[in-house]
Structure 1
Amino acid sequence: MNVFARELLRWYDHHGRKDLPWQHPRDAYRVWLSEIMLQQTQVVTVVGYFQRFVERLPTLASLAAADEDTVLALWSGLGYYRRARFLHRAAQLCVERHGGELPRELDALMALPGIGRSTAGAILAQAHGLRFPILDGNVKRVLSRYHGIAGFPGESAIEKQLWRHAAEHTPAERIADYTQAIMDLGATVCVRAKPLCLLCPQAATCVAHRDGLTGVLPTAKPGKKIPTRSLAMLLLRDARGRVLLEKRGPQGVWSGLWSLPEATDPDAAGMVASGLARIGEADPLPAFTHVFSHYRLDVSPILFDHAAPLATVADRDDRRWCDREELASLGLPAPVRTLLANLPEIAP
């Protein structure tokens, strides 16, 4: 076993995380689900979502058989909803092509939607003990610092170097523990800001620690200005407390989720709302901003209480009036769910 792996595993035995819910049992379905949830999301957030998800959909077969609304409702609040749709479709493909199981070959795993090389490696290493490296964000940070590699890790040439080092360090034994250990090191010690080098098992041989480069490695992604969009969200609520929701199309953000009707700005809200229901006075609610990875969304919510559904606007597959009970079973964008949960009581 190489020195890097030996020191890391010694540290893991005393300080690593061994009580995460997807480790008990550490089967392929649970590892896969956790890896997809952990993309762009921290462990402390994922734990609760993971437990609720496997309680409702405990197996790959149950995920494949579930309808999209159920999957998106369980995912609601985690963001990056394309991950959930890929997860759902990949489960269905496993039923169709792989006997209801995740395949045990790297190429076959990577052929499934949403599974890249690192995620496939994590499944094979953790669930089956097979010697495959991983290279998630935490591992990129650890290896960039340890080897003193300058350059944005997302660049092809830099990523190629990191994959080579990841493969070199991965041992031939205790592979599942090693894989968890290097992720834990990046998540708890070799953190993005102010890494805890005094606690790191690799500090003695780390180039960034030796040369005082932990503050600049890994190299940050070249920045670009994030644009801002604005819109008005229309909360049409009838006398029974039901709210009108519309299912978004297959393209764009929040695709496939249930959301509120929209207008380009507050001035246009009344005209749009009147095409959906008989409305009374508009009641503007506090505006808020939701930040996506590629733009900011300024939202002006406007409440129309005691709205009366128009006969010409009947419930259909992509539009319906929903009460509070129904809302819990639908996939809603996190800001929309929060907005609906905090609605004031119906005015008399």
Structure 2
Amino acid sequence: MSRSGAEEKRLAIERGDFSDGVPAITVICDGGWSKRSHKPTYNALGGVGVIFGAVTKTILYIGVRNKDCSICCRAKNKGTDPKEHTCFKNWSDSSQSMESDIILTGFLEAESVHGVRYTKIIADGDSSVYAKLQENVPVWGRNIVKLECANHTCKCLRSNLEKLVTEKPQHKGKGKLTKLNRIFENQYQFWKLPFEQEMEASRRPVKNICTKEELKELIKDTQILLNRIADKSDRLIGNFTTNLCESWMSIRSKFDGGKFVNRCGRGSWNARCYGGGLRKNLGIALSPLTFHKVTQMQPGQNFYQGVRRQSQKRQSSVKYNKKPESKTLRRKRKFQDLKVSQSKRAKIDYGSNLDDTPDISQV
């Protein structure tokens, strides 16, 4: 991470990006928990936050918070003093505030550790990180600019449209908020269509489209959601995403077993988060480097061949996913699967209205 910070600093100086004489860079931030969170259940014992350099695409800071220590907890239950040990408990506040505290600590240490200032932050809107940075980072905190994650904005729009359809079923159906235009990205034609239909309906009645009153209500309801995005237009124009952080979260989930096991009792959660950080910065070179560091021996030929196969497989996957036809195929397959899962036959076999209780005999 020190090498990554030094490289970000060098590139900032070359670009001429400074804040009061200190090199200024753009970072990508996000956080996560040690367990899966399902809507209101944000009560994980452990949390982690990560800060990426936007140019080098490497990790500059990782912070881990832990609310549990098995040795301290066991001693407390017995009413005795805990034995001498390395305690990994470093957090006693709410789990929801872990992410903002970790990111704030990374910003406070930016100038002393890396010799840079994080003046632009790319993040989603799930946490109060931005407000906390502006309030608590001294000198340059008020000048921090937040750039919105485009993926998260689209996800929130879809979620709000789904809620709107649930609350007002009259907006669902042909020519309205169908499943197709609520899910897929190319929605320009849909958003343009209601206005064209309104003009057409005002001239003459047209079969199989909304009435003028229905269109007005649909436009009024969706305009509220679209105005929220319009208010963020200056922060969305660069089409920034937090994909780097999300990719690291997927790596870390492989290290911690997919969040299914509680590893916060001792140092396992910390070690797995930092191990995921090394894997992201070093790539597949982590395995041979770790082998050499631990055994003081050079890895064998088979070791390098396995690493080479992984690298080639990854390059082929990236190359295939960049093809336009592969993206179209994924979208088509997604919609086909959706139609199958929502079919009447599928609902017969599974659903909230399913009643497979056997009839009671009359005898």
Q: Which one has a larger percent helix, Structure 1 or Structure 2?
A: 2
TM-score, length-normalised on structure 2? 0.21
Q: Which has the larger radius of gyration?
A: 2
